[in-house]
Amino acid sequence: MRRLLSLWPAMLCLVLCLGCATDSRRDEVARVIRDHVAKIEPLSKRANLVYWEAATTGKAQKFEEHAELQLQIRRTYSKPSDFARVKALRKCGVRDERLARQLDKLYYTYLQNQIEPDLLREIVELDTKVQQAFSNYRATMDGRKVTMSDVYTILTTEMDGGQREAAWRASKQVGNTIVADFLKLVRRRNQAARQLGFDNFHTMTVLAGEQSVRELDVVFDGLDRLTREPFAAMKKELDETLAKSYGITPEELMPWHYHDPFFQRTPLVYELDLDQYYKGRDVKELSRRYYAGIGLPIEDILARSDLYDREGKYPHAFSHDVDRSGDVRVLANLQDTERWMETLLHELGHAVYAKHHDPSEPWLLREPAHAFTTEAIAVFFGRLSRNAAWMQQMLGLSDEETAKVKQVSERYLRFQQILFVRWALVMYHFEKALYADPDQDLNRLWWDLVERYQSIRRPPGPVDAGWLSKLHFTSAPCYYHNYMLGELLASQLHDCIVRQALRLESDEGLSYVGDQRVGRYLRENVFGPGARYTWNEMIIRATGRPLSPECFVEQFIR
Ligand SMILES: [Zn+2]
């Protein structure tokens, strides 16, 4: 019976479509797409320009204007009649692959916005309330207000266990103040997803990103297996070092003894001060020279960018594709440090990807294959700021200095990558379980996962909703797995460039400096096609195999 029922839509489609000639359907698809782009392209460009003004000036009025334009865009994608048309056309299929691909893109964007108006309003209001409460919250320690930078300073320098614990607990307070509204939001999101026929919001979001929970489970299970032992060995060594520095035993270490509130970054015990090599250097000029050398010149991008600190300006960094026609910009607040070198290389990675989408592709396909594929390119270039061979060539380090950087950097990178896998495992499994059943004992679940994957002991006494102090639960729901996939793809592309484009046996001492083949490979295989193929197909075409953890494991774990 169930089988018969599931055949129904297909049969209905057959009946509806038998009559219509392929040509007229092709024309209809082309018309729907043309009408849609005619509406959305100017709106999207305006929204992007207004956002740029908002971020570079901090003017509240520009942020409001941007929110209004965003709402207009969302409304375009929420019309049930338009969605029904796109859905019907997609079900019947169209032979032209480029049109079919555009129809897919439309379908998934419409899908996520098909929420009945009252429920949508409730979701948007709750979401705004939670996000505002999150950003306006000020933590306190012994009654006085502390910022997150104060917390980081204490967690990286303070030796007194009591002070560390107080700072760590302060960083978690915000979770408890927003958890009730946040769980209300989770239930409403699930309600909307169920109305569209999904188990829950997590399943729907993953599917709308053209991914599947089953495939993600396979990737994360594999990563768990591959990192378990190397992580245990590194963690043991780290615990001994940390415990010794605090004058306690490794068994007495608590979550606040690590240098990051979530233990997602390596404690500073193995750090070499790389800033000394970037002091007095012009990171913008270094980037310009490097990207030009690999055949991806960025003069035009830099000319439109806003790169230095100013009152009222957004304090972090991002890359911004304004019109999918070459107006790409970067916002940054550059300083002569290793972190800013990494950040600029990273954002320019996003920027060169956007700049080189093939202009003959239709507007809907002139974007990255997936959010994680552009993240992969950004990570690919960002990793260079700590690469000893790259630093030697770009900064003119002596052989002796290079050897020192290499030794520390490789060890640090290995630890950082393995640690990130363990942390991403916690985030992925927790968020999946959170949306599957928001009524379970989530605080206990969080610590079960932290103990299992990160080997951090839960604090004594009742556990609270400190987990919700992680920004991503509120700002980018069901997205975290993409950071992990980006790391995997960055390694797979690196391996492919080494072996196929450069025909080398290994990456020993490889810096990519001045090698135009790197830019050519990326332009032809990754940037140019944009979203012409699904991410999966793009990766197979570019690297000869589907996305797998193999190269990442080879590069960092073995
Ligand atoms: Zn990025």
| Residue 501 DSSP one-character state | I
Both tokens of 109, joined, read 């964007």
What are the tens digits of pLDDT across the range 380-431? 999 999 899 999 999 999 999 999 999 888 888 888 899 999 999 999 999 9
Q: What is the CA radius of gyration of the chain?
A: 25
Res 263 pLDDT > 60:
yes
How high is the mean pLDDT of the chain? 91
Judged by phi (left if over 0) then psi (alpha if -120 to 50, else beta), residue 274 lies in: alpha
The pairing of strands 144-146 and 139-141 is: antiparallel
Ligand 1 centroid to residue 400 C-alpha, Å: 33
pLDDT of residue 412: 83
Ligand 1 centroid – CA 249 distance (Å) = 39
Dist. CA 262–CA 55, nearest whole Å:
28
> Ligand 1 center to residue 365 CA distance, Å?
20
pTM: 0.90
Q: Exposed, middle or buried by CB within 10 Å (0-12, 13-18, 19+), for 177?
A: middle
- CA angle, residues 264, 372, 519, in degrees to nearest 5: 110
Tell me what pLDDT residue 413 has: 84
Q: What separation in Å is there between the alpha carbon of 278 and the centre of ligand 1?
A: 22
Structure confidence at residue 16 (pLDDT) = 45
Q: What is d(CA 171, CA 150) in angstroms, rounded to the nearest whole number?
A: 10
More confident residue, 117 or 402: 402
Render 7-76 in DSSP notation, one character per residue.
HHHHHHHHHHHHSS-HHHHHHHHHHHHHHHHHHHHHHHHHHHHHHHHHHHH--HHHHHHHHHHHHHHHHH
The reported pLDDT for the residue numbered 271 is: 65
Q: How far apart are the first and last CA of the chain?
A: 51
Q: Is residue 21's pLDDT more than 90?
A: no
CA of 380 to the centre of ligand 1 (A): 10
Residue 368 has pLDDT above 90, yes or no: yes
pLDDT of residue 511: 85
CA of 352 to the centre of ligand 1 (A): 12
Ligand 1 centre to CA of 295 (Å) is 21
Q: Which residue has the higher pLDDT, 378 or 156?
A: 378
The answer to whether residue 272 scores a pLDDT higher than 80 is no
pLDDT tens-digit profile of 500-539? 999 999 988 888 999 999 999 999 999 999 999 999 999 9
Q: Look at 265 and 459; give whichever has higher pLDDT.
A: 459
Q: What is the pLDDT of residue 378?
A: 96
Averaged pLDDT for residues 440-468: 96
Contact between 507 and 498 under an 8 Å Cβ cutoff? The reply is yes
Q: At residue 319, what are phi and psi to the nearest 5 degrees?
A: -105, 145
Measured CA to CA, the distance from residue 185 to residue 205 in angstroms comes to: 15
CA distance 14 to 35: 26
Average of per-residue pLDDT across 251-268: 90
Residue 300 CA to residue 315 CA, distance in Å, equals: 23
CA of 375 to the centre of ligand 1 (A): 5
The CA 23 to ligand 1 mean position distance, Å, reads 42
Q: Classify strands 318-321 and 144-146 as parallel, antiparallel or unpaired.
A: unpaired
Per residue in 187-236, pLDDT (tens digit) is 999 999 999 999 999 999 999 999 999 999 999 999 999 999 999 999 99
- Tokens 């599917």 label which residue? 207
Look at residue 163 in the predicted model and tell me its pLDDT: 95
pLDDT tier for residue 494 given thresholds of 50, 70 and 90: very high
Segment 364-379 mean pLDDT: 97
User: Once rounded to an integer, what is the mean pLDDT over residues 113-132?
Assistant: 86
Residue 6 confidence (pLDDT) above 60:
no
d(CA 350, ligand 1 centre) in Å: 7
The per-residue pLDDT for 150 is: 87
Q: What is the mean predicted confidence (pLDDT) over 275-294?
A: 96
- Reported as a single tens digit per residue, the pLDDT across 60-97 is 899 889 888 988 898 899 899 999 999 999 998 899 99
> How far is ligand 1, taken at its centre, from the CA of residue 483, in Å?
9
Residue 294 pLDDT more than 50?
yes
Q: Is the pLDDT of residue 343 over 60?
A: yes
Ligand 1 centroid from CA 544, angstroms = 25
Q: Which of 30, 32, 123, 110 is nearest to 73 (CA)?
A: 110
75 CA distance to ligand 1 middle (Å): 28
270 — pLDDT class (breaks 50, 70, 90) = low
Q: How confident is the model at residue 17, as a pLDDT?
A: 47
Q: Residue 495 C-alpha to ligand 1 middle, in angstroms? A: 20
Backbone dihedral angles phi then psi of residue 199, each to the nearest 5 degrees: -60, -50
Lowest mean pLDDT among 10-14, 64-68, 180-184, 332-336: 10-14
Average pLDDT over residues 331-342: 92
Q: pLDDT digits over 156-198, tens only?
A: 889 999 999 999 999 999 999 999 999 999 999 999 999 999 9
pLDDT in tens, 140-149: 998 899 888 7
Mention every residue, 6+ apart, whose C-beta is less than 8 A from residue 399: 392
The band of 45, judged by pLDDT with boundaries at 50, 70 and 90, is very high
